[in-house]
Amino acid sequence: MFGKKRTPEQLEKIRQRKLRIYDIVFENDTPEGKAFDVFLMICIVVSIFLVVAESTLHVDAVGAMILRILEYAFTAFFTIEYLLRLYCSPKPRDYALSFFGIIDLLATLPLYIAWLFGPARYLMIIRTFRLIRVFRIFKLFSFLDEGYALIHALMDSMKKISVFFLFVLIMVISIGTLMYMIEGNVPESSFNDIPSSIYWAIVTLTTVGYGDITPVTSAGRFLSALVMLLGYTTIAVPTGIVSANLIKTKDSPYKRVCENCGTTGHDPNAKYCKHCGTLLDVNPQDHD
């Protein structure tokens, strides 16, 4: 796009190289592509494991050194992977702005930001950027057709579920305030303010029931019992919504994924990705 002119032969060579890299980095139907996927998966899992393990162990100087070197290695690998994907993608911009593109970028950032700001306290927060890398595991869904049905049943239900959550929010604020009125002045009670009471209402309505905040008066326990029975009934609503959508999407054509940006949900007769315009695979129902 920029820089000196290239002969058609050079362009063709570049196109060929891009395609080869594309086959390795994005596809998994060649041995190289499969090997790359497996290696990437291992890197993701190990890097996550290291972050989790770091929080439990008190490492000595040598251990800290090893962890740092591994950190450098993973960051280097994830950076190269991101640049390759960007390079070989037919529409690099669409990849960069896609869900997986952002995840891939965020996976490389923590160490660079750490270098920028020095080994400060807040690095802990930066380090978690790597965890977002974990969502890469969604790529596994491309192997599992059921995964799409599941995610789309949830996605399709989103509007209904957000209405339901609005409804729950109103209930929870009302119930929390009511409880605060009843037990707010009882010394041995933990209902110290309305936010705590709303937190209690959510804990109760979702039947989690930690028991860190519990009513101590008869009136409070009576309201509690009503809230529990309410939660018992309302638990049916999202279940019903998702179940209905799950049955609906059973034979839906959600199995096609754009290989450039990972977008799904294309119409059965769509030939190009609706998000980035990449040519789609033929309908899997035709050659399955």
- Within residues 41-80, the interface with a second copy by CB under 8 A covers 48, 51-52, 55-56
Pick the piece of the chain touching a second copy (CB under 8 A) from 75-83, 124-132, 259-267, 270-278. Answer: 124-132
Are the C-beta atoms of 129 and 109 separated by less than 8 Å?
yes
| N residues, the chain | 288
Pick from 8, 62, 211, 287: which binds a second copy (CB under 8 A)? 211
Pick from 206, 268, 271, 279: which binds a second copy (CB under 8 A)? 206
Of the pair 24, 43, the CB lying nearest a second copy is at: 43
Q: What is the dihedral of CA 33, 34, 39, 43, to 10 degrees?
A: 90
Asked whether position 91 contacts a second copy by CB under 8 A, the answer is: no
Q: How far is the CB of 184 from a second copy (least distance, A)?
A: 8
Q: What long-range pairs does 184-189 form, CB within 8 A, spacing at least 24?
A: 186/216, 186/217, 186/220, 188/216, 189/215, 189/216, 189/217, 189/220
Residues from 141 through 180 that contact a second copy (CB under 8 A): 141, 144, 146-147, 149-151, 153-154, 159-161, 163-168, 170, 173-174, 177-178, 180
Pick from 65, 120, 140, 282: which binds a second copy (CB under 8 A)? 140
Which whole-number Å values give the CA distances from 149 to 247, 264, 271, in the listed order? 9, 11, 21
Are the C-beta atoms of 47 and 74 separated by less than 8 Å?
yes
Sign of the Cα torsion 189, 193, 198, 199 reads: negative
Of the pair 18, 160, the CB lying nearest a second copy is at: 160
Asked whether position 198 contacts a second copy by CB under 8 A, the answer is: yes
Asked whether position 288 contacts a second copy by CB under 8 A, the answer is: no
Could you give the CA distance from residue 26 to residue 33 in angstroms, rounded to a whole number? 7
Pick the piece of the chain touching a second copy (CB under 8 A) from 62-70, 84-92, 97-105, 140-148. Answer: 140-148
Asked whether position 224 contacts a second copy by CB under 8 A, the answer is: yes
Name the residue among 248, 181, 194, 259 with its Cα closest to residue 220. Answer: 181
Could you give the CA distance from residue 243 to residue 158 in angstroms, rounded to a whole number? 13
Q: How far is the CB of 103 from a second copy (least distance, A)?
A: 12
Residue 166: how many CB atoms within 10 A of its CB? 10
Q: How far is the CB of 69 from a second copy (least distance, A)?
A: 21
Of the pair 186, 244, the CB lying nearest a second copy is at: 244
Q: How far is the CB of 161 from a second copy (least distance, A)?
A: 6
